[in-house]
Structure 1
Amino acid sequence: MILLSFDIEEFDMPFEYGKTISFEDQLSISTAGTLSILQILKQAGIKATFYTTANYAQHKPEIVMQIVNEGHELASHGYYHSDFKPQHLLQSKEKLEEIAGVPVTGYRMARMMPVDEREIEKAGYVYNSSINPTWLPGRYNNFSKPRTWFYHHNVLQLPSSVSPLIRFPLFWLSFHNLPMSLLKTLSAATHRKDGYLNLYFHPWEFTDLDQPERFNFPGYVVRNTGDAFIKRISDFISWGLAKGYEFARTGDFVQGIKRQLAK
């Protein structure tokens, strides 16, 4: 099983690289990428999960409704992408449910940063996908965390996928910089070991980021963005379908685990 997920947020990443970007541009770039993602998924006939900030949803409710109406899962990515308070956990859940009219049971912390699981449980989430169980300089040091799903404070934890043994991360940057043949080999090995893949991306990756004056992103971020990334992800999905892998929404996968444990 392959769980594709997309973090839909106000595109504030340029601020990390010393560039300013208007809120209107943040929304328009994220929206353009999200529409490309929805088209890819529709063409492939598969469903995915969209972790969305309440801030984005309030400004683009029509995109949120398109996500839901096309059969995808809506989950929470917090209230704002660059501001977090514990009360945002419940507030973002309630706002997304108000806008979309569907239950929101999943959460992912912005930038996959640590979050108090007791607060996650208190806010009423069923699962949390905020762990990248690997080590990246200046970002993650999660070698002590399990590679695959586990329970903590009554919340199912669903780490993003990493390869067996060396824990090589199968995350968005890998999909921009590695040869697709190697990614498929690593993905197949991980799927064979774990029985599923949990992969995450962002809408702005599906737009042209190779604009140094505007964004100032390093080469490893802008490589294979825009149309090249649309082609890469479409090719990966076709490969997964040809291998016989099922693509599913994260919430459905989690419910399957709960049913299995209840037997």
Structure 2
Amino acid sequence: MLAPAITNALTIDVEDYFQVSALAPYIRRDEWEARECRVERNVDRILAMLAEHQVQATFFTLGWVAERYPQVVRRIVEGGHELASHGYGHERASDLNEKAFREDVTRAKLLLEDLSGRPVLGYRAPSFSIGTGNLWAFDELARAGYTYSSSIYPIKHDHYGMPDSPRFAYRVGAGLMEVPITTVRMGQRNLPSTGGGWFRLMPYALSRWMLRRVNQQDHEAAIFYFHPWEIDPGQPRIPGIDAKTRFRHYVNLDRNEAKLRQLLQDFRWGRMDHIFLAGPAARS
């Protein structure tokens, strides 16, 4: 049964398993070319699943991936989905200075637009790495021509998070909107509720309850995210990683596609640009 008539944003961060920030201490960047790439087949599986459920989504795509698999970019656009930017090289915004960040986001935007023939309006920082220490990134995104960002997760986390951020879409300057990842407010804390490892770890019923709470009590659209490698239990195992990282990365990979299919049935989904650039938040 569908949730109330709020359309939520379904988003996919297009990167491969060896590009995950948590694995960076174990996989050098200069090793990427030698790794088995599985992103194309996984994106194709996602596109087929979305077509089956007649859902459109936003694909925040790495320039590194787009450059090597331009056919993936074209299939995303041909499927009626929004193509957005995940930067070029999956470098955390918090690890870059202003010049390096500007070059990364500009390079990715121009590349994606050249391959797709469509304007790229949205950006998501790898690992939600915009926070209190680098709010200058919003100015750089506006200068590069982006219209919105979805780069802040309003939670406390050991790798990212800005718990005091507004929970829903807001203006961060002239011409740029930030659309934070969705949380559920419980007492004095924001709890993660929509995607990634949290979704793989939590029982599906809890994830569904959290999303419905945002729709029904906050009367807001939720933003859900996942990665192509999260439906790929056959991906290579990285040796020597610590137990915490191993658990976070591999937990319930074999169950995730079935949970995602249920999610597509239980809620209404759409593209970020259609939901947030045409509604009240865009005009405030």
TM-score by length of 1: 0.88
Partner SS state of residue 104, structure 1? coil
Q: 1:138 to 1:92 in 2, by over 3 A?
A: closer
Partner SS state of residue 168, structure 2? coil
Q: For the aligned residues, what is the CA RMSD?
A: 2.2
Asked if structure 1 preserves the Cα contact closer than 8 Å seen for 2:153 and 2:163, the reply is no
Q: Using the alignment, how far apart are the partners of 1:18 and 1:25 within structure 2?
A: 13
Equivalent residue number for residue 238 of structure 1: 265
Amino acid at match of 1:157: E
Deviations along 1:87-114, whole A, 9 cap, x unmatched? 2222211111001111100011111101
Equivalent residue number for residue 24 of structure 2: 16
Equivalent residue number for residue 243 of structure 1: none
TM-score by length of 2: 0.82
**Matching of residue 123 in structure 1 with residue 132 in structure 2:** no
Asked if structure 2 preserves the Cα contact closer than 8 Å seen for 1:161 and 1:198, the reply is yes
Partner SS state of residue 143, structure 1? coil
Aligned-residue offset at 1:257:
2.3
Partner SS state of residue 12, structure 2? strand
**Matching of residue 201 in structure 1 with residue 197 in structure 2:** no
Equivalent residue number for residue 218 of structure 1: 246
Partner SS state of residue 253, structure 2? coil
Q: 1:97 to 1:224 in 2, by over 3 A?
A: same
Alignment of 1:1-263 (within 5 A): 1-10=7-16, 11-13=18-20, 15-16=23-24, 18-19=26-27, 22-23=32-33, 25=35, 28-82=37-91, 85=100, 86-114=102-130, 116-140=137-161, 142-154=162-174, 155-165=176-186, 166-170=189-193, 171-192=195-216, 193-208=218-233, 212=237, 214=239, 216=241, 217-226=245-254, 228-240=255-267, 246-257=268-279, 261=283
Aligned-residue offset at 1:17:
5.3
Q: Using the alignment, how far apart are the partners of 1:128 and 1:139 within structure 2?
A: 16
When structure 1 is superposed on structure 2, of 204-213 and 114-123 the one drifting more is 204-213
**Identical residues among aligned pairs (%):** 23
Structure 2 gaps of 5+ residues are 1-6
Asked if structure 1 preserves the Cα contact closer than 8 Å seen for 2:86 and 2:125, the reply is yes
Aligned-residue offset at 1:207:
0.5
Aligned-residue offset at 1:15:
3.8
Aligned-residue offset at 1:214:
4.6
Q: 1:183 to 1:55 in 2, by over 3 A?
A: same
Amino acid at match of 2:12: F
Q: 1:71 to 1:215 in 2, by over 3 A?
A: farther
Asked if structure 2 preserves the Cα contact closer than 8 Å seen for 1:148 and 1:194, the reply is no
Deviations along 1:71-130, whole A, 9 cap, x unmatched? 000001111113752222222111110011111000111111015111011001110000
Amino acid at match of 1:50: F
Q: 1:135 to 1:9 in 2, by over 3 A?
A: same
Asked if structure 2 preserves the Cα contact closer than 8 Å seen for 1:164 and 1:189, the reply is no
Aligned-residue offset at 1:230:
1.0
Structure 1 gaps of 5+ residues are 241-245
